[in-house]
Amino acid sequence: MLNQSQLLAEYFTYLKVEKGLAFNSVQSYQRDLAKLARHAADLGKEIQTLDRSDLVGAIAQMQNRGEKDSTIARFVSACRGLFQYAVREKLLTRDPTEFLETRKSWQSLPKFLTPQQVEQLAAQPDLDTDLGKRDRALIETMFATGMRVSEVLGLKLADVDLEKGSVRCFGKGSKERFVPIGRDAIKYLQAYLPARMRLLGERSSQYIFVTERAEPLTRQGIWRLLKDYGRRAGIDHITPHLLRHSFATALIENGADLRSVQLMLGHADVNTTQVYTHLTDRSLHEIYRKLHPRS
Protein backbone atom coordinates (compact mmCIF):
# COMPACT_ATOMS: atom_id res chain seq x y z
CA MET A 1 0.00 0.00 0.00
CA LEU A 2 1.22 3.49 -0.84
CA ASN A 3 1.90 5.90 1.97
CA GLN A 4 -0.09 9.13 2.25
CA SER A 5 2.45 11.35 0.47
CA GLN A 6 2.73 8.97 -2.48
CA LEU A 7 -1.05 8.62 -2.78
CA LEU A 8 -1.62 12.38 -2.84
CA ALA A 9 1.26 12.99 -5.23
CA GLU A 10 -0.09 10.45 -7.71
CA TYR A 11 -3.61 11.86 -7.44
CA PHE A 12 -2.55 15.46 -8.02
CA THR A 13 -0.49 14.37 -11.02
CA TYR A 14 -3.59 12.61 -12.37
CA LEU A 15 -5.69 15.77 -11.92
CA LYS A 16 -3.12 17.96 -13.68
CA VAL A 17 -1.94 15.64 -16.45
CA GLU A 18 -4.78 13.25 -17.25
CA LYS A 19 -7.83 15.33 -16.34
CA GLY A 20 -6.18 18.57 -17.42
CA LEU A 21 -7.63 20.60 -14.56
CA ALA A 22 -6.67 24.25 -14.28
CA PHE A 23 -4.14 25.37 -11.65
CA ASN A 24 -6.82 26.95 -9.43
CA SER A 25 -8.95 23.78 -9.51
CA VAL A 26 -6.00 21.60 -8.49
CA GLN A 27 -5.22 24.03 -5.67
CA SER A 28 -8.79 23.72 -4.44
CA TYR A 29 -8.42 19.92 -4.28
CA GLN A 30 -5.11 20.31 -2.48
CA ARG A 31 -6.64 22.56 0.18
CA ASP A 32 -9.52 20.21 0.87
CA LEU A 33 -7.33 17.12 1.00
CA ALA A 34 -4.91 18.94 3.31
CA LYS A 35 -7.88 19.23 5.72
CA LEU A 36 -8.39 15.50 5.37
CA ALA A 37 -4.69 14.85 6.07
CA ARG A 38 -4.85 17.00 9.22
CA HIS A 39 -7.92 15.12 10.42
CA ALA A 40 -6.16 11.80 9.79
CA ALA A 41 -3.10 13.01 11.74
CA ASP A 42 -5.32 14.01 14.66
CA LEU A 43 -6.55 10.40 14.73
CA GLY A 44 -3.02 9.05 14.50
CA LYS A 45 -3.69 7.73 11.00
CA GLU A 46 -2.87 8.43 7.36
CA ILE A 47 -5.50 9.13 4.69
CA GLN A 48 -5.32 5.67 3.11
CA THR A 49 -6.27 4.02 6.44
CA LEU A 50 -9.37 6.14 7.13
CA ASP A 51 -12.78 4.50 7.26
CA ARG A 52 -16.31 5.82 6.84
CA SER A 53 -16.72 6.75 10.51
CA ASP A 54 -13.51 8.82 10.36
CA LEU A 55 -14.91 10.80 7.44
CA VAL A 56 -18.24 11.30 9.19
CA GLY A 57 -16.26 12.67 12.14
CA ALA A 58 -14.43 15.12 9.87
CA ILE A 59 -17.74 16.37 8.49
CA ALA A 60 -19.21 16.71 11.99
CA GLN A 61 -16.23 18.81 13.07
CA MET A 62 -16.65 21.11 10.08
CA GLN A 63 -20.34 21.55 10.95
CA ASN A 64 -19.48 22.31 14.58
CA ARG A 65 -17.04 24.97 13.42
CA GLY A 66 -19.88 26.58 11.48
CA GLU A 67 -18.40 26.00 8.04
CA LYS A 68 -20.73 26.60 5.12
CA ASP A 69 -22.68 23.72 3.60
CA SER A 70 -21.07 24.47 0.23
CA THR A 71 -17.60 24.18 1.83
CA ILE A 72 -18.50 20.83 3.37
CA ALA A 73 -19.97 19.58 0.09
CA ARG A 74 -16.77 20.52 -1.75
CA PHE A 75 -14.68 18.73 0.90
CA VAL A 76 -16.79 15.58 0.54
CA SER A 77 -16.49 15.77 -3.24
CA ALA A 78 -12.69 16.07 -3.00
CA CYS A 79 -12.51 13.07 -0.68
CA ARG A 80 -14.76 11.03 -2.93
CA GLY A 81 -12.66 11.88 -5.98
CA LEU A 82 -9.46 10.79 -4.26
CA PHE A 83 -10.78 7.46 -2.97
CA GLN A 84 -12.55 6.57 -6.21
CA TYR A 85 -9.33 7.22 -8.10
CA ALA A 86 -7.31 5.13 -5.63
CA VAL A 87 -9.67 2.15 -5.89
CA ARG A 88 -9.88 2.40 -9.67
CA GLU A 89 -6.08 2.39 -9.93
CA LYS A 90 -5.87 -0.47 -7.40
CA LEU A 91 -3.91 1.70 -4.98
CA LEU A 92 -6.54 0.94 -2.33
CA THR A 93 -8.95 -1.97 -1.99
CA ARG A 94 -11.91 -0.06 -0.58
CA ASP A 95 -13.62 3.31 -0.87
CA PRO A 96 -14.76 4.69 2.52
CA THR A 97 -16.89 7.34 0.77
CA GLU A 98 -19.01 4.72 -1.04
CA PHE A 99 -21.89 4.93 1.42
CA LEU A 100 -21.19 8.42 2.70
CA GLU A 101 -24.38 10.47 2.71
CA THR A 102 -24.49 14.22 2.21
CA ARG A 103 -27.22 16.57 3.33
CA LYS A 104 -29.47 17.87 0.60
CA SER A 105 -28.68 21.41 1.65
CA TRP A 106 -25.05 20.84 0.71
CA GLN A 107 -26.24 20.73 -2.88
CA SER A 108 -28.01 24.08 -2.51
CA LEU A 109 -29.07 25.89 -5.64
CA PRO A 110 -26.92 28.82 -6.74
CA LYS A 111 -28.23 32.33 -6.25
CA PHE A 112 -28.68 34.69 -9.17
CA LEU A 113 -29.54 38.29 -9.99
CA THR A 114 -32.71 39.37 -11.70
CA PRO A 115 -32.33 41.37 -14.95
CA GLN A 116 -33.34 44.46 -12.99
CA GLN A 117 -30.58 43.88 -10.42
CA VAL A 118 -28.03 43.36 -13.18
CA GLU A 119 -29.12 46.69 -14.68
CA GLN A 120 -28.77 48.39 -11.29
CA LEU A 121 -25.29 46.92 -10.83
CA ALA A 122 -24.14 47.84 -14.34
CA ALA A 123 -25.34 51.43 -13.89
CA GLN A 124 -22.99 52.11 -10.94
CA PRO A 125 -19.64 52.81 -12.70
CA ASP A 126 -18.98 56.48 -13.54
CA LEU A 127 -18.81 56.62 -17.34
CA ASP A 128 -17.12 60.04 -17.17
CA THR A 129 -13.93 58.28 -16.02
CA ASP A 130 -11.70 55.79 -17.83
CA LEU A 131 -11.93 53.31 -14.94
CA GLY A 132 -15.70 53.66 -14.96
CA LYS A 133 -15.77 52.85 -18.66
CA ARG A 134 -13.59 49.79 -17.96
CA ASP A 135 -15.80 48.59 -15.12
CA ARG A 136 -19.03 49.00 -17.10
CA ALA A 137 -17.51 47.04 -20.00
CA LEU A 138 -16.32 44.38 -17.54
CA ILE A 139 -19.74 43.90 -15.92
CA GLU A 140 -21.51 43.86 -19.29
CA THR A 141 -19.02 41.31 -20.67
CA MET A 142 -19.31 39.01 -17.67
CA PHE A 143 -23.11 39.01 -17.77
CA ALA A 144 -23.19 38.73 -21.57
CA THR A 145 -20.87 35.70 -21.71
CA GLY A 146 -21.12 33.91 -18.36
CA MET A 147 -17.33 33.59 -18.28
CA ARG A 148 -15.54 32.43 -15.17
CA VAL A 149 -13.42 35.07 -13.43
CA SER A 150 -10.22 33.34 -14.54
CA GLU A 151 -11.46 33.44 -18.15
CA VAL A 152 -12.24 37.15 -17.94
CA LEU A 153 -8.81 37.85 -16.47
CA GLY A 154 -7.19 35.96 -19.34
CA LEU A 155 -9.21 37.71 -22.05
CA LYS A 156 -6.91 39.31 -24.66
CA LEU A 157 -7.54 41.81 -27.42
CA ALA A 158 -7.08 39.09 -30.02
CA ASP A 159 -9.85 37.05 -28.36
CA VAL A 160 -12.57 39.64 -28.94
CA ASP A 161 -14.29 40.11 -32.29
CA LEU A 162 -16.70 43.01 -31.94
CA GLU A 163 -17.79 42.82 -35.58
CA LYS A 164 -18.90 39.20 -35.28
CA GLY A 165 -20.04 39.72 -31.70
CA SER A 166 -18.09 36.88 -30.10
CA VAL A 167 -15.27 36.23 -27.66
CA ARG A 168 -12.86 33.32 -27.43
CA CYS A 169 -12.07 32.07 -23.96
CA PHE A 170 -10.10 29.24 -22.46
CA GLY A 171 -11.84 27.29 -19.72
CA LYS A 172 -10.85 24.47 -17.40
CA GLY A 173 -8.10 22.34 -18.86
CA SER A 174 -7.37 25.16 -21.34
CA LYS A 175 -10.36 24.10 -23.44
CA GLU A 176 -11.19 26.72 -26.06
CA ARG A 177 -14.73 27.89 -26.74
CA PHE A 178 -16.43 30.81 -28.49
CA VAL A 179 -19.27 32.67 -26.79
CA PRO A 180 -21.52 35.27 -28.43
CA ILE A 181 -21.84 38.74 -26.90
CA GLY A 182 -24.82 41.04 -27.26
CA ARG A 183 -25.16 44.64 -28.36
CA ASP A 184 -24.85 46.12 -24.84
CA ALA A 185 -21.52 44.40 -24.19
CA ILE A 186 -20.28 45.41 -27.65
CA LYS A 187 -21.37 49.01 -27.07
CA TYR A 188 -19.52 49.35 -23.76
CA LEU A 189 -16.44 47.49 -24.97
CA GLN A 190 -16.23 49.90 -27.90
CA ALA A 191 -16.50 52.82 -25.48
CA TYR A 192 -13.83 51.29 -23.23
CA LEU A 193 -11.15 50.62 -25.84
CA PRO A 194 -10.07 54.31 -26.22
CA ALA A 195 -10.10 54.59 -22.40
CA ARG A 196 -7.92 51.49 -22.24
CA MET A 197 -5.35 53.17 -24.47
CA ARG A 198 -5.29 56.14 -22.09
CA LEU A 199 -4.84 53.84 -19.09
CA LEU A 200 -1.90 52.17 -20.84
CA GLY A 201 -0.26 55.42 -21.91
CA GLU A 202 3.10 54.61 -23.47
CA ARG A 203 2.93 51.02 -22.23
CA SER A 204 1.37 48.01 -23.92
CA SER A 205 -0.61 44.97 -22.85
CA GLN A 206 -2.29 42.10 -24.63
CA TYR A 207 -5.01 41.88 -22.00
CA ILE A 208 -8.37 43.60 -22.35
CA PHE A 209 -9.00 44.66 -18.76
CA VAL A 210 -6.09 46.62 -17.29
CA THR A 211 -5.39 48.82 -14.28
CA GLU A 212 -4.11 52.39 -14.10
CA ARG A 213 -0.61 50.89 -13.83
CA ALA A 214 -1.09 49.10 -17.18
CA GLU A 215 -1.19 45.73 -15.41
CA PRO A 216 -3.87 43.07 -16.00
CA LEU A 217 -6.83 43.36 -13.64
CA THR A 218 -6.51 40.79 -10.84
CA ARG A 219 -8.96 38.36 -9.28
CA GLN A 220 -8.93 40.40 -6.09
CA GLY A 221 -9.51 43.57 -8.10
CA ILE A 222 -12.62 42.17 -9.76
CA TRP A 223 -14.04 40.91 -6.47
CA ARG A 224 -13.38 44.26 -4.82
CA LEU A 225 -15.00 46.40 -7.51
CA LEU A 226 -18.06 44.13 -7.79
CA LYS A 227 -18.51 44.24 -4.02
CA ASP A 228 -18.27 48.04 -4.06
CA TYR A 229 -20.70 48.47 -6.96
CA GLY A 230 -23.05 45.92 -5.38
CA ARG A 231 -23.08 47.91 -2.14
CA ARG A 232 -23.90 51.09 -4.07
CA ALA A 233 -26.71 49.29 -5.90
CA GLY A 234 -28.11 47.92 -2.63
CA ILE A 235 -27.26 44.30 -3.54
CA ASP A 236 -25.32 42.21 -1.02
CA HIS A 237 -22.72 39.53 -1.69
CA ILE A 238 -21.98 40.21 -5.36
CA THR A 239 -19.36 37.81 -6.73
CA PRO A 240 -18.06 37.06 -10.23
CA HIS A 241 -19.71 33.63 -10.08
CA LEU A 242 -23.05 35.26 -9.25
CA LEU A 243 -22.95 36.99 -12.65
CA ARG A 244 -22.18 33.62 -14.27
CA HIS A 245 -25.21 32.06 -12.54
CA SER A 246 -27.33 35.04 -13.59
CA PHE A 247 -26.25 34.66 -17.23
CA ALA A 248 -27.23 30.97 -17.31
CA THR A 249 -30.51 31.50 -15.48
CA ALA A 250 -31.55 34.34 -17.79
CA LEU A 251 -30.93 32.14 -20.85
CA ILE A 252 -32.88 29.16 -19.46
CA GLU A 253 -35.78 31.36 -18.33
CA ASN A 254 -36.02 32.81 -21.83
CA GLY A 255 -36.17 29.44 -23.53
CA ALA A 256 -32.55 28.48 -24.28
CA ASP A 257 -31.96 24.74 -24.56
CA LEU A 258 -29.71 23.07 -22.01
CA ARG A 259 -27.11 21.92 -24.51
CA SER A 260 -26.54 25.47 -25.81
CA VAL A 261 -26.14 26.82 -22.28
CA GLN A 262 -23.73 23.98 -21.49
CA LEU A 263 -21.55 24.92 -24.45
CA MET A 264 -21.53 28.62 -23.57
CA LEU A 265 -20.65 27.94 -19.94
CA GLY A 266 -17.95 25.46 -20.90
CA HIS A 267 -19.36 22.67 -18.73
CA ALA A 268 -17.88 19.26 -19.53
CA ASP A 269 -21.02 17.49 -18.29
CA VAL A 270 -24.59 18.60 -19.01
CA ASN A 271 -25.57 17.43 -15.51
CA THR A 272 -23.65 20.42 -14.15
CA THR A 273 -25.82 22.73 -16.26
CA GLN A 274 -28.99 20.92 -15.14
CA VAL A 275 -29.07 22.91 -11.89
CA TYR A 276 -30.31 25.98 -13.79
CA THR A 277 -33.48 24.17 -14.81
CA HIS A 278 -34.12 23.62 -11.10
CA LEU A 279 -33.73 27.35 -10.56
CA THR A 280 -36.33 28.17 -13.19
CA ASP A 281 -38.62 25.41 -11.86
CA ARG A 282 -38.42 27.07 -8.46
CA SER A 283 -39.14 30.47 -10.02
CA LEU A 284 -42.24 29.09 -11.75
CA HIS A 285 -43.50 27.57 -8.50
CA GLU A 286 -43.05 30.89 -6.70
CA ILE A 287 -44.98 32.72 -9.43
CA TYR A 288 -47.74 30.11 -9.24
CA ARG A 289 -48.03 30.38 -5.45
CA LYS A 290 -48.21 34.18 -5.62
CA LEU A 291 -50.63 34.54 -8.52
CA HIS A 292 -52.89 31.49 -8.77
CA PRO A 293 -56.15 31.99 -6.84
CA ARG A 294 -56.20 28.35 -5.67
CA SER A 295 -52.45 27.85 -5.09
Respond yes or no: is residue 285 known to be catalytic.
Answer: no
The DSSP bridge partners found for residue 156 are 207
- Rounded to whole angstroms, the Cα distance separating 103 from 66 reads 15
Give me the residues paired with residue 176 across strands: 170
**148 is annotated as an active-site residue:** yes
Q: Which residues contact 264 (CB under 8 A, 6 or more apart)?
A: 145, 146, 177, 179, 180, 251
245 is annotated as an active-site residue:
no
Q: Of these residues, 16, 19, 45, 172, which one is catalytic?
A: 172
Candidates 148, 196, 229, 245; catalytic one: 148
Q: Which of 16, 74, 168, 267 is catalytic?
A: 267
User: Annotated catalytic residue: which of 39, 196, 244, 245?
Assistant: 244
**Is-catalytic flag, 90?**
no
Among this protein's residues, is 237 annotated catalytic? no
- Give catalytic status of residue 156 as yes or no: no
Convert the chain into a string of H (helix), E (strand) and C (coil): CCCHHHHHHHHHHHHHHHCCCCHHHHHHHHHHHHHHHHHHHHCCCCHHHCCHHHHHHHHHHHHHCCCCHHHHHHHHHHHHHHHHHHHHCCCCCCCCCCCCCCCHHHHCCCCCCCHHHHHHHHCCCCCCCHHHHHHHHHHHHHHHHCCCHHHHHCCEHHHEECCCCEEEEECHHHCEEEEECCHHHHHHHHHHHHHHHHHHCCCCCCECCECCCCCECCHHHHHHHHHHHHHHHCCCCCCHHHHHHHHHHHHHHCCCCHHHHHHHHCCCCHHHHCHHHHHHHHHHHHHHHHHCCCC
For residue 48, give Cα distances in angstroms to 1, 27, 265.
8, 20, 36
| Backbone torsions φ then ψ of 176, nearest 5 degrees | -85, 140
Active site residues: 148, 172, 241, 244, 267, 276
